[in-house]
Amino acid sequence: MISTDAAAAMVELYCQQLKLPGVRSSYQAIARDATDKSQSYVVFLGACLAQEIESRRQRRLANRLAAARFPAPKTLESFDFSAIPQLSKPKVLSLAEGAFIRGRENVICVGNPGTGKTHISIAVGISAIQAGYKVRFISAVTLAQELLQAQQEYRLPRYLKGWQSFDLVILDELGYLGLGPGGPLLFQFCAERYERGSILITTNLEFSRWIEVFGDPALTSALLDRLTHHAQILLFQGESYRFNQSKERLKEAGT
């Protein structure tokens, strides 16, 4: 008869070869439990496989969260909707369910600095990942620079292709800095995604001022035309949340 130790060593080996880390890390505990409860072999096997599925789900989630490159973990739970009453909470919650991504629609968050646009965009992005979508967060300026560099190195088509796997691209802080020669490339990026994948943009500029970013009126209106064709617009009207909090703290300190 084969010893328990030898059998365990074989299970370890087989799990490695078959790439079953979930079974490998949990089968002994499940086996003890099955013995304690006098469960059948079939029940035991089912529990091991369920564990493998769960461990793969967790790993996929962790990988996708890392691939999204969010600058900070922000959630809807930690967002104080009462601080910005004009922003519709049901609308944000329905965006977080991800139907707009299925419909390849866009979201544009417009408002003053510090009003929570980036916070909400990350929270929506994390919900989308939990719903099974692939998401990538990047600042508009960084993307424009990367596009320009890819073009200079004659690898723009390949670079653009790399973005096709994402269901949602979050383009943060459009408008804080002009894009210079990257402007037309960012236009090309958005035009290629039109009706193929979703974009969520955060910006401090109302649409009439987007020319300042892209430089070219014809290009800007063509971009706005595509972006807003299937888009939900969220207006972040109010004062900076951080600034208000600092004011509160100063008041409490009696200054």
Secondary structure element (H or E) that encloses residue 216, with its range: none
Q: Which residue is nearest to ligand ADP (CB)?
A: 116
Answer with the entry of ligand ADP, Mg ion, none that 214 interacts with (C-beta below 5 to 8 A by kind). Answer: none
Residue carrying the six token digits 């809807």? 76
User: For Mg ion, which residue has the nearest CB?
Assistant: 118
Q: Which of 117, 138, 141, 214 contacts ligand ADP by CB under 6 A?
A: 117
Residue 50, contacted partner among ligand ADP, Mg ion, none, CB below 5-8 A by kind: none
Which DSSP symbol is given to 208?
G
How far apart are CB 168 and ligand ADP at their closest, in Å? 17
Compute the CA torsion angle 196, 197, 201, 205 (nearest 10 deg): 0
Position 166, amino acid: F
Task: Outline where DSSP puts E strands in 43-142.
Answer: 106-111, 135-139
Query: Out of Mg ion, ligand ADP, none, which partner does residue 84 contact, by CB within 5 to 8 A per kind?
Result: ligand ADP
Contacts for 149 with CB less than 8 Å, ≥ 6 apart: none
Q: Which of 51, 118, 139, 203 binds Mg ion (CB under 5 A)?
A: 118
Strand pairing partners for 136? Answer: 169
Locate 111 and state its tokens: 């408002």
Give the shortest CB-12-to-ligand ADP separation in angstroms.
45
Q: Which is nearer to Mg ion, 204 or 220 (CB)?
A: 204
Residues that bind ligand ADP (CB under 6 A): 74, 79-80, 83-84, 111, 113-119, 202, 236, 241-242
